Amino acid sequence: MAVDRTRLKRFPPVQRLWHLGLLVVFMILSVTGIAWMYFETPWGRGLAEQFGGFTGTLEIHRIAGLVMLAGFVLHLLYMLFKIDWKRFSQSLMGPDSLVFQWIDIKGFFAHLGWVFGLRKYPHFDRWSWWEKFDYWAVWWGLIIVGVTGLMLYNPVLTSDFMPGWLLNVALWVHRIEAVLAMGHIFTIHFTVEHWRPSAFPYNASMFDGSVDLEEARHEHPAWVERLEREGRLEGTLVPPPPVPLRILYFVFGYAIILLGLFLLVFAIANAALLTLF
């Protein structure tokens, strides 16, 4: 029986794995970090008790942080491996690259115009400006939160290499960047990827690695046209994933989304109880 190859391959398995690993570790860090941040409130204390009180919570937070940094280092190696060094500039500035280009500035304003009904939907290639922004936001976030996190990992050792009062600064920077990252993921990222009417209720493309061809013609017309022009469209088409896998992606994805919403709602509800500044 022939299977309908109606979907366009968008993410190879290794990139889906990066995203899966990143989100699992991110959620572990979020839960333990928020439990620690809200430790003076009954809600935060209750969260921390799930991990064996504050010592257990901090221990898990530290280990997960190291895992995330190790993942970042692996990602850097993967990136070096992916760059086509012989055709360096095309590799970096090509349409399949996530590097920001002039066209993304134009794409931003074109999209802005579409949102307010002034223009047609922009002619995005493989990556739209917000998809690139989401990718690089993890870089900037991970560098800020990772450097300060490493400093706070062992404060006594850190103060051998720099004045101890830098730990005051590191803790605040770590907190604010973490709140920014969680706030962005649990509101903007979830809405854009899953709750927009055209994506609702769930967009599994980062999990199954493919997007519907017709959807891609709307959302990324320049990409599909480029594949057609180069005669690569047929080779890029894949069948939909089997139903059990689709159920798994949905259940797993919504478990994570609900966990994020749980943290968001209770963090906002308890914000007034925070006793630190």
Partner 1 sequence: MSIGSTIICLLGALFMTSSAFGQAMDAPTDLAGTGYFRDQDTLPGSFRFYQQLPGGESGFWGMGPSRPNLRRSSFKIDAHDDVVYYSPEVRCQKCHEPQTKDLHYLRMGITCVQCHRGQPVAGVYQYYSPLNPIRRHAYVCAKCHEGATPSFASYMVHEPNPIASEAQGRFPLLYYAVWFMLILAGGVFVIFLPYTVFWWIRDLVAKLTRRPSHGS
Binding site for partner 1 (CB under 8 A): 39-40, 54, 112, 114-117, 120-121, 144, 155-156, 159-160, 162-169, 172-173, 176-177, 179-180, 183-184, 187-188, 191-192, 195-198, 217-219, 221, 275-277
Here the tokens at position 243 are: 């139903």
What's the CA gap between 195 and 188, in Å, rounded? 10
SS3 210: strand
Alpha helices for the chain (secondary structure H): 13-37, 42-49, 53-82, 88-93, 102-115, 129-153, 155-158, 166-183, 190, 205-208, 213-219, 221-229, 233-236, 243-269
Q: How far apart are CA 16 and CA 20, in angstroms?
A: 6
Q: Which is nearer to partner 1, 180 or 259 (CB)?
A: 180
- Exposure b/e, 97-127, CB count within 10 A at least 16 = b: bbeebebbeebeebbeeeeeeeeeebebbbb
Task: State the minimum distance, in angstroms, from the CB of residue 84 to partner 1.
Answer: 31
Q: At closest approach, how far in Å is the CB of 272 from partner 1?
A: 15
Residue (73 or 276) nearer to partner 1, CB: 276
Question: In this structure, are residues 257 and 194 in contact, taking their beta carbons and an 8 Å threshold?
Answer: yes
> At closest approach, how far in Å is the CB of 85 from partner 1?
33
What is the smallest separation between the CB atom of 203 and partner 1, expressed in angstroms?
12
Would you say 39 or 51 has its CB closer to partner 1?
Answer: 39
Q: Which two tokens stand for residue 242?
A: 């089997």
Nearer to partner 1, 67 or 192 (CB): 192
Q: Which is nearer to partner 1, 23 or 173 (CB)?
A: 173
Q: Which is nearer to partner 1, 85 or 116 (CB)?
A: 116
Q: Is the CB of residue 28 less than 8 Å from the CB of residue 60? A: yes
Q: How far is the CB of 165 from partner 1 (least distance, A)?
A: 5
For residue 9, what are the contacts with CB-CB under 8 A and spacing of at least 6? 209, 210, 236, 237, 238
Nearer to partner 1, 16 or 184 (CB): 184
- Tell the smallest beta-carbon distance from residue 28 to partner 1 (Å): 21
For residue 248, the minimal CB distance to partner 1 (Å) is 27
Contact criterion met (CB below 8 Å) for 195 and 254: no
